[in-house]
Structure 1
Amino acid sequence: MPAGLRDLTIRQLRSLAALATGGSITAAASRVNLTQPAVTQQLRNLQDLAGLPLVQRTSEGMRLTEAGRELLALSQRIEASIATCELSLEALAGRTGGRVSIGSVSTAKYFVPYAIAAFSKLYPKIDIKLSVGNRETIRRAVHDYEMDIAIMGRPPSDVDVEVQLIGDHPHILVASGQHPVASRDVRSLSDISGEVFITREVGSGTRLLMEGLFDANGLNPKIGMEMGSNETVKQAVIAGLGVAFISAHTVASELDDGRLVMLDIEGLPVVRQWFVVRRKDKIMLPPAQAVLDFMSTQGARYLPKLSQLSR
């Protein structure tokens, strides 16, 4: 190998590879994001180091000489080695492998799995463990260091956490389309205060929000049934057993297909936010940090679309 070749640079080799692919200085410059004079200079410097012509002009464009093809093969080997090294470093850093424990309040299960699926396509070697529960269950798990991160609507107040916004979380009142209240002219909470309410269990974030809303209006909702999941709340409302104050994200499909209707009540929807949280004093390994970054920057893309709220 010529002594001078030891001083070649990656930029020079990439300029040569771009020329081999594009067939012209103009095309090469576009591929490597350099100006045409800069690419020409890179190739000239590489040729000086090689001590042989690397390029020849033909009627079909610029082509590599035999010496140029030798350096192109060297470039390909170096690029492959760089890619392999990057994968090794990623694995050592934990960004492409490892395990992450995620907690999600049950209301968030309508978008969190989709976000995790998208993340897993980017980082297939990171093993995600997802635990779903009501707000109190997830709060306790965060408090006890059982989870790396959690997705919830109201961060815990008794734990020092880092909080990052995912997106808006609207809450609405819904009823079956066949329920008498659906055909009445209802405008305020007082208009429906006598209706039977199907609610989540005590301790859930939705229940707390509903109670706060009615307390602020000096009303006491008539609780008919308490359910441990949004699915059972929805089914009870669809069956006509009552109305419900519920996360709009949990009923997006039922609103679209007409199984449920949204009641047009003054002051609604109540819009809260979705957050991704972690204990500040819990060590975050690179895989967990990758999930946290993804949820905070991309999580909003997976929130259910709410056509009725945009009308």
Structure 2
Amino acid sequence: MARENTQDRVALVTGASSGFGRVTAATLMTRGFRVFGTSRRVVDHPQGIEMLELDVDSDDSVRDCIAELLGRAGRLDVLVNNAGRAMVGACEETSAEEARALFETNVFGVMRTVSAVLPTMRTQRRGTIVNIGSLSGFVGVPFHGVYAASKHALAGYTEALRFEVRPYGIGVCLVEPAAHRTGIQMARPHGPLPHYDSGRETVEAIIRKQIETGSSPQRVADVIAAAATSAAPRFRYRVGGKATFAAWARRLLPVATFETVVRREFRLPGRAET
């Protein structure tokens, strides 16, 4: 059930300079929202979105951004936590420092932003928080291990948050897309190990092709907008055929069979012969 009136409602979309965030900001504006978008450096948005500077890795930047928004708009009804980073690399070759940097953005950045907006939403007794996860948030995609770990952590955080803030009229949900045409960049570990070159390169090529040939990000933006305007958003929204299939396969297939499906999807060998 959608809320009838979005007039004068205010939305904040992090990471709005490209990808899902850019399209989502424009989509929410067409739904009647006053939309603020963020990027690390302020850029113009072709749709007329009000852009703010925000580095979700910084406590000060988050605090200043939310203060600026509230100073201009006086309220906040929807937060879309879209800002994030991706990485492709084997678990062993990814350093703890690189893993921390990824978690800083994908997990702690979300936590900072949520904590900054909750006092306002609690006072209003209404609001919706939409966190952008990934298919990798419920499947440990090979050579996406640290990224998958960050999205698994985000899923657990989102579920707990949903219980905690519901009494204050705040809805929380998680949108988990498969690959879409976003052009997202994937960093590599600084210390790659030759043992993993073949598998890493194979998986990266497959994922890049899935991104290049995937559906339009508008599909995800429409789901985000539907969740943002729902009076009772669901916990999870999976977007894309692969995300839907993976969710059902994980639930219904024996573990060994599911692992075989994943290996075949990414053209990875099974156990090495001795």
Q: Whose strand fraction is larger, Structure 1's or Structure 2's?
A: 1
* Structure (1 or 2) with the larger CA radius of gyration: 1
TM-score normalised according to structure 1 size: 0.27
TM-score normalised according to structure 2 size: 0.29
